[in-house]
Amino acid sequence: MPDHTHDAKPGDDKDPKTVIVQIGDKSVTTPKQTTPRALLTAAGLDPDRRRLVGITGKAQHPYPDLDEKLTVHDGQVFITVSIGPTPVS
C-alpha cells in the first residue's frame, strides 16, 4: 500500500483561499485577504500590545494600522514588536 504521508508545505491540502504564513516561530493558516489584527490574533498575540512587521529579504515593513487590508501569500514571513511598557525586575 502506498504511503501518502508527507511533510506539510504551504499550499498542501487546504482551501485555496487560505495560506500559511510565519509569524515569529508560529505557522498560521489564514485567509489570503486579512488584516494585521487578524494575523496577530491567529498567532495568539494581543494586538493591543504587539505590532506586525513584514520581512522581505533584509527589508522590514511595519503595519501600524491594525485594520489595514492585506493580501498575504504562502510562506510570507512576519515578526512582531512590543508596543507596551517593558517590565523591569
Report pLDDT for 5: 30
Q: For 49-61, how does the pLDDT look when each residue is reduced to its tens digit (9 = 90+)?
A: 999 999 999 999 9
Distance CA 86, CA 44 (A): 19
The answer on pLDDT for 66 being more than 90 is: yes
- Regarding predicted confidence, which is higher, 84 or 78? 78
Q: Which three cell numbers stand for residue 81?
A: 514588536
Please tell me the pTM assigned to this model.
0.78
Report pLDDT for 12: 52
Band of the pLDDT at 62, cuts 50, 70, 90?
very high
Report pLDDT for 8: 44
Report pLDDT for 50: 96
Q: What are the structural domains, with CATH classification, of the chain?
A: 18-82 (3.10.20.90)
